Structure 1
Amino acid sequence: MKYYDFSAIEKKWQKLWEEKKVFKVKTDLNKPKYYVLEMFPYPSGRIHMGHVRNYTLGDIIARVKRMKGYNVLHPMGWDAFGLPAENAALKHGTHPAVWTYSNIDYMREQLKKLGFSYDWDREFATCDPEYYKFEQRFFIEMYERGLAYRKKTAVNWCESCQTVLANEQVEEGKCWRCGQEVISREMEGWFLRITAYAEELLEDLKKLEGFWPEKVILMQRNWIGRSEGAEVEFFIPELSEKVKVFTTRPDTLFGVTFLALSPEHPLAKRLAMKKGLFKELERLSERVKKERRRIEEGVAEKEGLFLESFAKNPLSGESVPIFAANFVLMEYGTGAIMCVPAHDQRDFEFAKKYGLPMRVVIQPGDKTLKAEELESAYEELGIMINSGEFSGLPSEEGKKRVIEKLEALGLGKKRITYRLRDWGVSRQRYWGCPIPMLYCERCGIVPEKLENLPVRLPLDAQIDAQGRSPLPRLKEFVSATCPACGGPARRETDTFDTFVESSWYFARFTCPDYSEPLNSQDVDYWLPVDQYVGGIEHAILHLLYARFFTKVLRDLGYLRIDEPFKNLLTQGMVIKETYKCPRHGWLYPEEVSSEGRCLKDNCGEEVIVGKSEKMSKSKCNVVDPDAMIKKYGADTVRLFIAFAAPPDRDLEWSDHGIEGAFRFLKRVYTLVEEYAERLKGITYSDKDFSELSGQALILRRKLHQMIKKVHQDFEERLHFNTGIASIMEFLNFLQDSLKELDLSGDVELKLLKEIFEKLLLALSPVCPHLCEELWAHLGNSGFISEASFPLWEESLLKEENFILVVQINGKVRDQISAPSGISKEEALEMVKGLPKVQKYLEGKTLRNVIFVPEKLINIVVS
């Protein structure tokens, strides 16, 4: 083969890898394991460059670890349930199951074309009944432990997707999937009690420090939102009842000038009924439901209703008015808050609007605050004033003392709360895992019997044009027998949120035999995942849920780990510049002339070149992986993806860059092919090179320095771009050196064989097909994918000479090539003879010599 026929080479080795099951893996307690996992894809139809980057990074890690002697688990599957597949199927007029499985077939072939080292025998889709039957089992066991429950509550509703959303799936008031404005609706639904693990989820983030990106840890910490404070009881004489409020600032208790209740609070309703204000309260409640998202984001205008009633401050004894207010939501805290307008901006704005009094009870220390002069609330800590026996105490000390007093009086206690809310998992859509619960008039809510699982999603059901689930109208699905009494029962028609499936899939990969939920020997051996790779957009949704599920499965006896993912790499996006025509809108690159004019319909308008943005079909700045593989080959695509940017940074697509990657691989191929026949039968060992000198020694030294650099960058730092750069630099040096190297002797040929083999071994995790081909051409049997990563000789890492920087009184005056290991005295004698140095020493007295070995010498004179 005289030219680089990448298409033939890649097909050949992909076929051999599959036939020989090179990447198939099994539990082996005698070998160290390494579990590499990339976040699995939705079977959307085609992979995009974001997928290619994610999976390429993971594949390099997997291949390096395999070459380092690890037993590597590197699986792939499909996150197949949920709205994306269902909406796409609706759009294309087909059934979600047909759409999903056809997409899986296509995407699988795309991934195989890229040469990823997956153990395909472990492949599964989350819509497979054999997968989700265990998910249903876990849910039933959670229900029996009180971790799954059903309740009626205000939920986030997406009218476009016709389903409920979890709080984590609402982004800036909009649906995470379709972007539609989310509204509040009161509905029955199933919840998982993630709040039961709030403290552990927060505390265990400390275990991930240094292994996960700081940004992700901070995002989770803020989402969980731990708050320490006090639960305080205010007495309402009119009802002879107490109302509980939570506050993080008990030091401001003497500054309370009103209470605010949620319009849904039972006490608010009772007071409104008593005062003839119920209709007004109902109207306020309806407005709250409509503006719920804006209220949660703090952007809705403050609104309230005075309930013509008062509550008694537990410490001061003062009576304060009670309002129903739109900024208090029933499911947050106790549904009631104490309001201190002088020291809380939200309360300040409400008090200003309704003319309520303010009282300063915290002074900053450096000035005196007066309530009538406040332009905004003073929310910082300070010194307590106007607070009875607590006046004069610093805020932190005052918080403790106030709580102690409340506890002594039986009117309050120390309490910790969390921003985190329980996870609503009910979805009113068809394409999801059926929730395995039934409703019996005699027995109430009853879980399905474990032996009857899975509760199968009926694949003959048809979705209507509005996307409404057919399950509630499907008599053969809804009608069931009660597992408890044997009487008639109604089956639950909600399905699970798609994030339930992805919350435990990493454990399923470790034991793909479906005879039991999770095999203890396999999960104990493989888990946790050693390296997880995926986008930072899943920092709250998927990663938090997976951590929660891991802890639940541990407590159910299935796992023995606390955290699912030991290391996390969040790769940047693949971005590309955009093109827009004033007449035709977004344009593909091929629709723009070299002069920057629109080619569409012979338009000729000047095209606006926009900033580089995440690749998207809507902005026509996508690059099709299939087209790139066809034009340049998978190895070139992989090389460019790994080389163009550090993994955690955005990668800007460059046609020039991928051309450069292709040229580099052609150079490698051509160079090795030129000498391959001469080198086939040659063997070598380190002792063959003991007498090397001159250019040959320099070349071997550069080789071993490159190997160590690649090892550090590929395995330790995960900076694949700099590791590849060192390989490229070495190839340039090699080609220049070959002009001077005498290849007539045995030693030189042995050296060239070592160089080519170790160069290919270092490059193979990135470009496996090319390296397999050339490895074979050099006479090696077996796969380079199963060979060991090249080792380096420590003795060769040190250069014979180095550049010594020469300073006089701290200023650089010259530099000189000096032998490694030179002493301070030898270096001083060497540099004294330099003309540029001598003129600064003439007539001067030498005061000191500062010597940094193999870096610089600084001569101090006066």
Structure 2
Amino acid sequence: MKYNFAEVEKKWQDIWDDKQVFAATNDYSKPKYYALVEFPYPSGQGLHVGHPRSYTALDIVSRKRRLEGYNVLYPMGWDAFGLPTENFAIKNHIHPEIVTKNNVAHFKQQLKSLGLSFDWSREINTTDPNYYKWTQWIFLQLFKKGLAYKKEMAVNWCTSCKVVLANEEVVNGVCERCGGEVVRKVKSQWMLGITQYAQRLIDDLDLVNYIDRVKVSQVNWIGRSTGANVRFGTTAGDELEVYTTRPDTLFGATYMVISPEHPYIEKWADRITNIDAIRTYQQEAARKSEFERTELVKEKTGVELQGVRGVNPVNGREIPIFVADYVLTTYGTGAIMAVPAHDTRDWEFAKKFGLPIIEVVKGGDVEQEAFTDCATGVMVNSDFLTGLSVEDAKAKIIDWLTEHGKGEKKVNFKLRDWVFSRQRYWGEPIPIVVCPKCGYVPLPEDQLPLTLPHVDSYEQTETGESPLAKIDSWVNTTCPHCGGPAKRETDTMPQWAGSSWYFMRYCDPHNNEALASKEALDYWLPVDWYNGGMEHTTLHLLYSRFWHKFLYDIGVVSTPEPYAKRTSHGMILGENHEKMSKSRGNVVNPDDIVKEYGADTMRLYEMFIGDFEKSAPWNSDSIKGCKRFLDRIWNLQDILIAGAEYRPELETAMHKTIQKVTRDIEELKFNTAIAAMMALLNDITDTGAINHAELKALLILLNPFAPHITEEMWQVLGFGGMLNEQKWVSYDEAKCKEATIEVVAQVNGKIKARLQVAADITAEDAIAAAKQADAVKAMIEGKTVVKELYVPGKLINIVVR
């Protein structure tokens, strides 16, 4: 009987839905397992075949855990606020709420068609007021603790659209949407003080099981460094502070650079004799994104300040001060000391402007070799530091700076506080009232959620404010503190807000009294296994760890880290080996694959395509092999015989396969687990039959990968109950070893025979057996045996002359 995958898959998806088979229970006495994947942004394009790779992998883990007796939480929801939906709404004159509802419905249908065992009873949506009520509540707690604050910030401003743009909306210096000129403009923005958690975010990586590349990306993004704050004098009388990781090189500092936005430019405006040139340069810098300004491979530009010079604190020498766009006011102090002998960028700048280059760490001819990047070595041309090692010089100069009031030791982080506000409509309203008397006042918690008002236009105002600013009836309010007239904050939160705590809401998604009950949070957290893309390991992963740690500090959660384990998958590329995108025309729609081959085949292929943690190209021909494998599994019914135990000829193969699949799932080696089951199927076919015990075990092993066909076969064959209610198969370690093995026999390194020998054969017996093989015997007769070697389980080599 031919396998009708379309009929069978629909049947079992309906059964699972009707019976809520995969719903986690609230019986907190059971052992729990919380598996999590990053919830998707429901775009209008729907899923492509790259998306389900992560979902299927953790689905396999979740299904295995249920068979192992765990109370499994494997939830799904929607990260549905954000810019793409708002832009679509503006362009097509459809309310973002309707756009989101339609996109979610499409995504959900696609995910269900793949047979993913999500607990849909816990589905969440970040745009649901019952959800974002608690996003707003968390913001208020951050505000009350001083971790949410307002600050003047340079932002990307589209001169045509009159809106603030995120960095990713600026392409080649122009607005992605309209092509208009983008400049840097200072606006007041809400910030979150993530930098106060920087050290803990590094230290607590020791508490979790993250793959190395995830840990490394987090540490590098946070960018901890140890150095010194150094205060340079100026001829204007002010001190200009810089942060440096190499205070030992101070005697080699031959010029200084400040950012175009540095406040001292305004302070010194009357002293600067070339202020017009400085103003022109500031305007040019304002047209560049931060990425363009800090790009290493670019021509260095700058203007020297005429009228004010710096004073090197270690030797009293006056040095020029330049304004250059590669220095950012948002990092460090917005000023640097330049040591061109030991820094590529400084050397290139010094060469262009004819500035002195003084070697202070012995390492080569700086004029001939560009510069000497010396982290170790001996100090030269450095007065009282000369002759010291770099490390000793660092310690001594920091002591000297501290003693003379010129600086002090400093730990610095590359991580910046989180810019948290957006001048948009489709985001969570920030629950703050701005009062002319009381300042920024938090909305009382009993007035949450502060919901988005309905608007007819989603366009920003001429001044770049949110569309909310145009709704007087919503903006005008009373101050919760003094009762006087006040206005609501019209900025909204970024998309990152809702995704920073969603894993908590899954624990208790229908709670109206708290973001989740303490009992539920204590039971389910931390997440046992979280998988997501590498592109989210710096921003989202860092932000959610920060929020969790804050909630831990105020007693909402009981664990310092949200995720016990984090892994990341590689992308599925198009058949042309490029990233899938509509513009490249290489997107594969999972709906088409499910329709042609079935969900089980697609799931199997997604896991068989290659190393889960590496990118792999889609191959339309290879998927057919997975379909043939499942057809062969279905046809095993035709050779089924009675038998309650594994047959002797298959016993070792059965135990070895169970062992491998069990271990490979835990190690993300899904491709080799599938290969092992394919090999077992060949072994079964070679015997001409399969008995009940063997088929039951094979169906249970295959079930997490191909749940529909295995459930159907279990039911058709009358094995009792549903397969998902069974226990995971076990193996006997002793029976995983082959009774006999194949080894090769070599003479002078050339293979002459292949022998079947006992797995535990001694070296003496193995060599004796080899000598009895006809081909070996012919090669060694009448010759002197120089050496005999047995490599257990692999080969025998006899050397003759």
TM category, shorter: over 0.9
Q: Is the 8 A contact 2:272 2:305 kept in 1?
A: no
Work out whether residues 302 and 349 of structure 1, in 8 Å CA contact, stay in contact via their aligned partners in 2: no
Q: Which residue of 1 aligns with 2:543?
A: 545
Match of 1:402 among 389, 397, 404: 397
Structure 1 contact 430–468 (Cα < 8 Å) conserved: no
Q: 2: CA distance between counterparts of 1:443 and 1:423?
A: 25
1:102-147 Cα distance to aligned partner (Å, 9 max, x none): 2212221221121111111100100001111111111111111111
The Cα of 1:343 is off from its aligned counterpart by 2.6
- Mapped partners of 1:166, 1:560: distance in 2: 35
Helix, strand or coil: the match of 1:618? coil
Q: Indicate conservation of the 8 Å contact 2:278/2:305, yes or no.
A: no
Q: Which residue of 1 aligns with 2:256?
A: 259
The equivalent residue for 2:423 is 428
Structure 1 vs Structure 2: percent identity of aligned residues? 44
By how many angstroms is 1:478 displaced?
Answer: 0.6
In structure 2, which of residues 373, 376, 391 is the aligned counterpart of residue 379 of structure 1? 373
**Paired AA for residue 280 in structure 2:** R
Residues in 1 aligned to 2:556 and 2:162: alpha-carbon distance in whole angstroms: 35
Secondary structure in 2 matching 1:274: coil
Q: 2:616 aligns with which of 651, 654, 657?
A: 651
| Matched letter for residue 76 of structure 1 | M
Normalised by the size of structure 2, how large is the TM-score?
0.93
| Segment drifting more, 165-174 vs 403-412 | 165-174
**1:47 maps to amino acid:** L
Q: Which residue of 2 aligns with 1:787?
A: 726
CA contact (8 A) 1:806 1:857 kept: yes
Residue correspondence of structure 1 range 661-672 to structure 2 within 5 A:
661-672=626-637
- Tell me the equivalent position of 1:319: 318
Q: Which residue of 1 is the match for residue 795 of structure 2?
A: 856
1:632 maps to which residue?
A: 597
How far did 1:275 drift? 4.2
Change (3 A) 1:303 1:375: farther
User: Does residue 760 of structure 1 match 2:699?
Assistant: yes
Given candidates 758, 761, 772, the residue that maps to 1:833 is 772
Q: 2:472 aligns with which of 464, 470, 475?
A: 475
Q: Cα–Cα, structure 1 residues 160 and 504, in superposed 2: closer, same or farther, change >3 Å?
A: farther
Partner of 2:548, secondary structure, is helix
1:159/1:549 CA distance change after superposition, 3 Å: farther
How many residue pairs are counted as aligned between the two chains? 794
Q: Which amino acid aligns with 2:606?
A: I
Q: What does residue 332 of structure 1 align with?
A: 331
Matches within 5 A, 1:593-742: 611-672=576-637, 674=638, 684=644, 686=645, 696-714=647-665, 716-738=666-688
Look up the equivalent residue of 1:792 and give its one-letter code: Y
**2:492 alignment partner AA:** T
**Are 1:51 and 2:51 an aligned pair?**
yes
Looking at structure 1, the residues matched to 35 and 529 of structure 2 have their Cα atoms a distance apart, in angstroms, of 5
Deviation at 1:247, TM superposition (A): 1.3
CA distance in 1, matches of 2:416, 2:168: 9
Contact 1:83–1:161, Cα closer than 8 Å, also in 2? no
For residue 231 of structure 2, what is the aligned residue in structure 1?
A: 233
Asked if 1 retains the 8 angstrom alpha-carbon contact of 2:699 and 2:714, the reply is yes
Instruction: Determine the C-alpha separation between the residues in 1 that align with 2:147 and 2:422.
Output: 18
Opposite residue 616 of structure 1, the aligned amino acid is S
1:438 aligns with 2:433: yes
* Aligned-partner Cα distance in 1 for 2:53–2:667: 17
User: Are the structure 2 counterparts of residues 387 and 162 from structure 1 closer, same or farther at C-alpha, using a change threshold of 3 Å?
Assistant: same
- Corresponding residue to 1:245 among 238, 242, 245: 242
Contact 2:424 2:460 in 1 (8 A): no
Give the match's secondary structure for 2:559: coil
Shift of 1:753: 0.5
1:59-458 aligned within 5 A: 59-157=59-157, 164=164, 183-208=183-208, 211-239=209-237, 241-293=238-290, 294-298=292-296, 299=298, 301-364=300-363, 367=364, 369=365, 373-374=367-368, 376-381=370-375, 382-458=377-453
Separation (CA, whole Å) in 1 of partners of 2:553 and 2:178: 36
CA contact (8 A) 2:163 2:460 kept: no
- In 2, are the aligned partners of 1:95 and 1:462 still within 8 Å (CA)? no
Q: Comparing 478-487 with 306-315, which one deviates more in the overlay?
A: 306-315
For residue 481 of structure 1, report the CA deviation from its aligned partner.
Answer: 1.4
The alpha-carbon deviation at position 723 of structure 1 amounts to 1.1
What's the counterpart of residue 581 of structure 1?
A: none
| SS at 2:309 equivalent | strand
Per-residue deviation, 1:455 = 0.8
Distance 2:327 2:617 in 1: 45
- Alignment partners' CA distance in 1, 2:352 and 2:785: 79
SS in 2 for 1:427: coil
Indicate the larger mover: 561-570 or 228-237: 561-570
CA distance 1:172–1:519, change in 2 (3 Å): farther
The separation in 1 between residues aligned to 2:220 and 2:168, in whole angstroms, is 12
Amino acid at match of 1:772: E
- Paired with 2:541 and 2:769, the residues of 1 have a C-alpha distance of 61
Task: Supply the RMSD in Å over aligned alpha carbons.
Answer: 2.7
SS of the residue corresponding to residue 261 of structure 2 reads coil
Q: Residue 569 of structure 1 aligns with which residue?
A: 567
8 Å contact from structure 2 (residues 465, 490) kept in 1: no
Q: Deviations over 1:413-459 (max 9, x none)?
A: 11111111111011111000001111101111111111111110113
Q: Which segment drifts farther, 505-514 or 162-171?
A: 162-171
Shift in CA distance, 346/819, structure 1 to aligned 2, threshold 3 Å: closer
Distance 2:622 2:341 in 1: 59
Cα shift at 1:200: 1.8
Aligned to 1:524: 522
1:157 Cα offset (Å)? 4.2
Q: 1:31 to 1:458 in 2, by over 3 A?
A: same
Distance in 1 (alpha carbons) for counterparts of 2:374 and 2:486 = 57
Contact 1:260 1:322 (C-alpha < 8 Å) held by counterparts: yes
Which secondary structure state, in structure 2, belongs to the residue aligned with residue 758 of structure 1? helix
- Relative distance call for 1:54 and 1:88 in structure 2 (3 A) is farther
2:20 corresponds to? 21
Which position in structure 2 is the counterpart of 1:601? Answer: none
Question: Which 5+ residue runs of structure 1 have no aligned equivalent?
Answer: 578-610, 690-695, 742-750
Q: For 1:357 and 1:853, locate their aligned partners in 2 and report how far apart those are by CA, in whole Å.
A: 67
Corresponding position of 1:605: none
Specify the code of the residue in structure 2 equivalent to 1:251.
Answer: D
CA drift of 1:161 comes to 8.2
For residues 635 and 318 of structure 2, what CA distance do their matches in structure 1 show?
90
Aligned-partner SS, 2:77:
coil
CA distance in 1, matches of 2:329, 2:733: 67
1:37, 1:75 within 8 Å by CA — same for their partners in 2? yes
Q: CA deviation at 1:160?
A: 8.5
Query: Which residue number in structure 2 is paired with residue 585 of structure 1?
Result: none
Measured against aligned partners, the alpha-carbon deviations of 1:208-241 in whole angstroms (never above 9, x if no partner) come to 5xx43433333322222222211111223542x3
State TM-score, norm by structure 1.
0.87
Query: Which deviations, in whole Å up to 9, do the C-alpha atoms of 1:774-803 show, x marking residues without a partner?
Result: 101121232211211212233432222211
